[in-house]
Amino acid sequence: MRIYLLLIAFSFTASYLLTPMVRSLGERFTANQMLRERDQHRAPIVKFGGVAMIASFAMGIWLASNFHFFRGVFGGQAIQGLCLALLVIVILGLADDMFDLRWWIKLLGQILIGWLMATHGVLIQSLPVGSWRIDEQWLQVVVTIFLVVLTMNAINFSDGLDGLAAGLAAIGAATFFVYSYVLATHVSADDYANLGALLCALLLGACLGFLPHNFNPANIFMGETGVLAIGLILSVSAIAVTGDVQGLEARRFRNIPAYMPMLLPMVIVFLPVLDLVLSVFRRLANKRSPFSPDSKHIHHRMLAQGHSVRRAVILLYLWAAVIAVSVVSIAFIPVVLVIPLALVLFLAAAIGTWWPLVVRRVGALRTRLGSE
């Protein structure tokens, strides 16, 4: 555990120190930037924070490669494919943040990113429920690309308020790290170096280091580069965990539907995925492209209810923690203990979320009764 904590601290420090440097360099590109109708800020803000996050993540990968503990993780092609995919993300993300690329160009770029991972050995070959295997290689590639693209877009849809995407990613990375680490120790008590745990540890540090600069009022945004990188890392971690689950015969891990590869990242980023699904249906119902932007996401609706930006973000953090921690805890803690705790946390989050609406309705009712 100590080596993972060291990597988290290293990634945090690198991200925290690199972000102001990236902001200073990016300010020359934002002077003439036009604000969009759905933007919550009133002045142009640098959108290149994802570059600092990727740089700190890459530095953490380099540091980990020097530890004998991770010799097995760096033995395959997964890390090489991840580095190539992150390079594509930097190019695609910066181009989109500066020139606002068309949705289909971004989709093609995301498919390329997923294909790079699939061709470097990061493939969904089976599902950890029963003995369901995917034998056809072309189908493995398609399912892998679908998972990568889905997760990247889910994170992208959550990047609407200061600190929201970075905080949700940090919560997801932390819970995913704990699950991956404990699972790895059950698979092998002697060699429990784990690709999923490594990636989530570095992602956790990078997000936490970036968050002080990005929390309301933000002085820098992660931009397309950051959200795509987060989605990629979480999806690759989910696929890596699948192999560990298949190597473990304990029914406690193998028969929990939440750990199916297609659902793992959705559990971790449940709110962004829910927002993604609702947004797609909403836009299709209005005869618009599912990739077209609007201002009707969950976080926008919370602002309309009367929440401040900070309170809305903190409440969404709470919802993400309730969902992620509750589901992951089922693997380690008896259900009879998890359910009461989850219900209490759910009730607290629900009261905090809808309280302004309740107060407004009660006030309106009192006004109407007083006028009568």
Binding positions for Mg(2+): 156
Q: Which two tokens stand for residue 308?
A: 């401040």
Nearest-CA neighbor of 79 among 98, 97, 58, 49? 58
Query: What are φ and ψ of residue 126, in 5° steps?
Result: -160, 165
Q: How far is CA 259 from CA 129, 236, 323, in A?
A: 8, 14, 14
Numbered residues of the known binding site: 156
**DSSP string computed for 275-324:** HHHHHHHHHHHTT--TT---S-SHHHHHHHHT--HHHHHHHHHHHHHHHH
Q: Which two tokens stand for residue 359?
A: 């107060």
Query: What are φ and ψ of residue 133, in 5° steps?
Result: -115, 150
Q: Which two tokens stand for residue 173?
A: 């990375």
Give me the sign of the Cα torsion angle 196, 197, 202, 204: positive
